[in-house]
Structure 1
Amino acid sequence: MSTDFVLGDDFARVLTETTQALVCVLDSGGRILLFNDACERTTGYKRGEVIGRDAREAVIPPEESEAFADVLAYIWKTGLSSPQVGHWKTKDGERRLIAWSNKLMPAGEDRPSYLVTTGIDLSDSAAEAEGALGGDVEAKLVEISRLAQEQRALRRVATLVASEATPERVFTAVSEESARVLEVNASAVFRYEGDDTATVVGRHDRDGVGVFQVGDRILADDNTAIGRARDSALPARIQDYYAIDTDVARTMRNVGYRSTVAAPIFVGGVPWGAVAIAAAERLPPDSEARLMAFCELVSLAVASAQAREDLQSSRARIVKAGDEQRRRLERNLHDGAQQRLVSLALTLRLARTKLGSGPETLEPLLAGAAEELDKALEELRELARGLHPAALTEQGLGPALQTLAERLPVEVQVGALDARMSDHVEATAYYICSEALTNVTKHAQATRAEVSFAREGDVLRFEISDDGRGGADPRAGSGILGLRDRAEAAGGTLFVISPPGRGTVVTGTLPLSDSA
């Protein structure tokens, strides 16, 4: 069986390599097909050293090999997930304690079945528990019990994430579990909005106070822990609400809450939201670190859900865009060149009937026919330029965009490229840039735009900027989403930055692996 493993979606690939969770994919024989960056950091192995090898030869300790085989056999026989806690051995022989969730992916038309496993390294928590044995017996038992409770809570949430539960279920579970294990009055999951606010997407309080409900939108500024966590991209706290005079602080004081800690949730490398806890007393100093473990699970759940949703939406948009392009081509042919050719045929038939009437009768008919033919040819050339500009094939990306820019009603500066690239890369970059420039002329109310390129290793980086009104929302229309679909279909990326009143910048990358 081949040991090559290719993720079918670029978003899933990026997610796998940027998550802090261990992600390892196995075949039915226990051979390793995928080994992400977190696995490399935890074990010291490079993926090239373990891909294709039986996990029992690489990372499973000999004393746990039989149990590992039993788990594999159970999963492949039943098709059910089987969350586990076990050890991995590192390259230098150490043992790391890992909590695993797993899900069997059934075979498809072009691939065999495989097992996706995601794990959290519990070794540091286990070391804490071991360190607790050095003190008072009663303190040892309390600390060990606390750590065990925390790890059970994390495993329950991890199992939900691995089973592809809805984000709403995960948000609620995180709120309940974090409030319980951190022994606080209330916990909530917030999603950051585009302004200085955040929306409650999950909550739990043990007192039934209900200070914030799911769907409530609250201020997230520098006087709130969630605002500070967003701005600093680090855990933050409000130590004493009695020392702050804001609406949020007064609300918290009114229900008896004194202190809050919030930790950011990262999705795609940027703060997506936060998990926050509140208590009637000042929270202990380790609250931030303990809360971050829950944030990592929320991050994985949100990113996974977004990947599934984006993939489905992208497929639908690609089909719709293809249908619209075919209809537009059919309409342009029918209303333009086809009508002229029909008229030309009628004119020529009429001329044929007048062959015996003399040249003075035929001359205006033939002149009109020639004029119609010229116009039909010009319209067909215009259609051909829209499908694939001749300048792109003959001269390359920069000159083709310069030709396009000269026909636009705004001033456009096009940067130079030092060399030609593959036809596929040039065509993809051309259509993305031309569509972005069309958006500038239609919607941006701009007076000037600029297109620039840069080669960075095996990647072409491009940027289209304008001095227009800004405020473009990628979620509000199909134009920007279509650009992103085209870039991602070619293995690249595309991002839009469009603050109101400050213009729009579309920046993206395309791989040059196919370049000549």
Structure 2
Amino acid sequence: MFPAGGTHLPRDGSSVAGRAGSRRLFCLVRWAVNFLREVIRAIRRAVPWSGGLLACLPTVRVMVTRRVAAGSTALPPPDPLVVEELAAFRNLAALAAKTLPLQDSLAGIAREMTQVLGAGHAVVARYEADGFITIVSGWNHEHAVPRGSRWRLEGRTVSEAVYRTRAPGRIDCLGGTGELSTKLRKHGVVSSAGYPLIVGRKLWGVAIAASNTAEWFLDDTTERMRGFADVAVAVIASQETHMELTAARARIVAATDQARYLLERDLEGTQQRLVSILLEIQGLTATPLDGPSDFQGRLVNSARDVQAVMDDLLEIARRVYPATLVGRRIEPALATLVRRSPVPVELSVSAGRRLPEAHVLTVIFLVSAALTHAAEHTHATAVRVDLVSDDTSIRLSISDDGVGGADVAGRSELLDLADRVEALGGTLRILGPPGRGTSLIAEIPTGPTNGGAAWSRTHKDPR
């Protein structure tokens, strides 16, 4: 019989309560593991941009609210590993908000990655076109691979493995025999893990964490590097975009100043010729003449000089803005450029509609600059121009049979053309291997608009 109003416990009731408590503890631990996994996934999904860390906090709050509402009365103590990663990404968010040089930003990322992964060193290296890597920045690495040093890619190194596979990699025991491997072993480096840094679609470099032991590796070490690599990619892309924008602005200012200088020089020369003509006309009345024929001869010479000045002024005006853009038809403008070119040109145009004025101007400037380059720099004897456009894009191809060797980086006018094409969302490629001529290929999107009927003509210079 049980006492009224109570419950009679058997003598072994403590063991029953212990088993129930163990089950509750096991369920609580399992819940905590699943919850932390969801938190980490939310953070990693938000890492690719600097504001992602702040953006993921509402998601974490909602997850906590749902867990509590589901019946959890208290959260277990957080995993120190997760707390450390959250603190690292909070520091990286603050770092991304600052305007720092690229090396300093990457050094901060390397520092946080080193501390979270438990590694001894970390570097961010850039892959070069000549088969080398350049150490851009890092943390606790100067004694082994100083910033700015260049190293040839070697087999059995994590940098070579990442370059070859474009995927994360790890080396548990450094076994290479090259200069880099020897230097790393000399300074005690035993193991390393690397994660590729892909900016856009280009393999820019690699983030590497290394240690003097192999025990620091966990099964998900390379996966845990992903968040740091994403932040590094965002910083690199932002810095490169800023540098390209700054360089483009400087080129625009330089091109504007150069154009003003050339315009002032041409107008000053024209002014001097006009003064000379004026003095000649005044001399018709100030000096004695040998007869009507002498007067007529001087007048004809003055008229010829005036006509030459008018032609020069018209040419100056054409350089400022092409006068052949009637109805935004591109064929007459290109035909005019072909007639004026000192090099024989074969022109082929196939267009489906009228093009926007900005696109017509860009094509004209491209063809004009290419013809000038062929005549003055490549010493070409023939040039071919092919233009094809449809409802979505323009494709322009210009090739000559000159000496080649076009240097885009060394010629400001070619860089100006690239800026103009990229401003319309297009791409420009200039190929000029020595002795094989120069080719210019531009692709510019146009988008669907209403235009005239489709037309296609081919013009060949008779020279």
TM-score scaled to structure 1, two decimals? 0.64
- The alignment partner of 1:241 has SS state of coil
Partner of residue 247, structure 1:
179
Partner of residue 147, structure 2:
214
Distance 1:407 1:226 in 2: 55
Determine if contact 1:265/1:295 at 8 Å carries over to the other structure: yes
List aligned pairs for 1:65-464, cutoff 5 A: 117-119=51-53, 144-205=79-140, 210-220=143-153, 224-242=157-175, 244-279=176-211, 280-281=213-214, 283-335=217-269, 337-353=270-286, 358-393=291-326, 396-405=329-338, 407-408=340-341, 414-418=347-351, 419-439=353-373, 441-443=375-377, 451-455=385-389, 458-464=392-398
* Pairwise CA distance, 1:290: 2.0
Q: Cα gap change, 1:248/1:117 in structure 2, threshold over 3 Å: closer, same or farther? A: closer
Q: Cα gap change, 1:155/1:471 in structure 2, threshold over 3 Å: closer, same or farther? A: farther
Partner of residue 472, structure 1:
407
Determine if contact 2:157/2:174 at 8 Å carries over to the other structure: no
- The alignment partner of 1:201 has SS state of strand
Distance 1:370 1:154 in 2: 78
* Pairwise CA distance, 1:122: 6.4
Determine if contact 2:328/2:360 at 8 Å carries over to the other structure: no
* Pairwise CA distance, 1:187: 0.9
Determine if contact 2:408/2:430 at 8 Å carries over to the other structure: no
Deviation digits for residues 183-219 of structure 1 (CA, Å, limit 9, x no counterpart): 22321011233321221111223xx772100111111
- The alignment partner of 1:416 has SS state of strand
Distance 1:449 1:374 in 2: 31
Distance 1:146 1:456 in 2: 57
- The alignment partner of 1:302 has SS state of helix
Determine if contact 2:289/2:295 at 8 Å carries over to the other structure: no
Deviation digits for residues 274-328 of structure 1 (CA, Å, limit 9, x no counterpart): 2112233284443332222112111211222233333333333323322221221
Distance 1:326 1:457 in 2: 37
Identify which range, 388-397 or 152-161, moves more after superposition: 388-397
Deviation digits for residues 113-165 of structure 1 (CA, Å, limit 9, x no counterpart): xxx94448869x98xx99xxxxxxxxxx9993223322321221122112333
Gaps of 5+ in 2: 1-40, 65-75, 452-463
Partner of residue 22, structure 1:
none
Distance 2:174 2:433 in 1: 34
Deviation digits for residues 14-70 of structure 1 (CA, Å, limit 9, x no counterpart): xxxxxxxxxxxxxxxxxxxxxxxxxxxxxxxxxxxxxxxxxxxxxxxxxxxxxxxxx
Distance 1:389 1:362 in 2: 39
Q: Cα gap change, 1:148/1:199 in structure 2, threshold over 3 Å: closer, same or farther? A: same
* Pairwise CA distance, 1:408: 4.8
Identify which range, 506-515 or 285-294, moves more after superposition: 506-515
Q: Cα gap change, 1:329/1:451 in structure 2, threshold over 3 Å: closer, same or farther? A: same
* Pairwise CA distance, 1:398: 4.3
Deviation digits for residues 446-485 of structure 1 (CA, Å, limit 9, x no counterpart): 67665544546544344556675447353x5533332233
- The alignment partner of 2:350 has SS state of coil
Query: What one-letter code is carried by the residue in structure 1 that aligns with 2:250?
Result: A
Deviation digits for residues 349-371 of structure 1 (CA, Å, limit 9, x no counterpart): 22234698631221221121122
Determine if contact 1:495/1:506 at 8 Å carries over to the other structure: yes
Distance 1:333 1:247 in 2: 62
Identify which range, 492-501 or 385-394, moves more after superposition: 492-501
Gaps of 5+ in 1: 1-94, 104-115, 131-140
Determine if contact 2:393/2:443 at 8 Å carries over to the other structure: no
Deviation digits for residues 215-243 of structure 1 (CA, Å, limit 9, x no counterpart): 1111136654334434543323445432x
Distance 1:225 1:163 in 2: 31
Q: Cα gap change, 1:388/1:515 in structure 2, threshold over 3 Å: closer, same or farther? A: farther
Deviation digits for residues 487-513 of structure 1 (CA, Å, limit 9, x no counterpart): 344x42444465865766553425457
- The alignment partner of 1:274 has SS state of strand
Determine if contact 2:128/2:134 at 8 Å carries over to the other structure: yes
Deviation digits for residues 388-446 of structure 1 (CA, Å, limit 9, x no counterpart): 33444378334533543565566655442313212222012321343355445555676
* Pairwise CA distance, 1:173: 0.9
Partner of residue 36, structure 1:
none
Query: What one-letter code is carried by the residue in structure 2 that aligns with 1:220?
Result: L
Query: What one-letter code is carried by the residue in structure 2 that aligns with 1:162?
Result: A
Determine if contact 2:158/2:193 at 8 Å carries over to the other structure: yes
Distance 1:146 1:209 in 2: 27
- The alignment partner of 1:184 has SS state of coil
Distance 2:391 2:164 in 1: 32
Distance 1:417 1:404 in 2: 17
Determine if contact 2:328/2:357 at 8 Å carries over to the other structure: no
Determine if contact 2:51/2:93 at 8 Å carries over to the other structure: no
Distance 1:224 1:499 in 2: 36
Query: What one-letter code is carried by the residue in structure 2 that aligns with 1:287?
Result: T
TM-score scaled to structure 2, two decimals? 0.70
Structure with the bigger RCO (C-alpha within 8 Å, sep 6+) is: 2
Deviation digits for residues 359-390 of structure 1 (CA, Å, limit 9, x no counterpart): 12212211211221232222223223323334
Query: What one-letter code is carried by the residue in structure 1 that aligns with 2:100?
Result: A
Identity of aligned residues (%): 27
Query: What one-letter code is carried by the residue in structure 1 that aligns with 2:86?
Result: Q
Distance 2:172 2:380 in 1: 47
Distance 2:344 2:209 in 1: 53
Determine if contact 2:154/2:178 at 8 Å carries over to the other structure: no
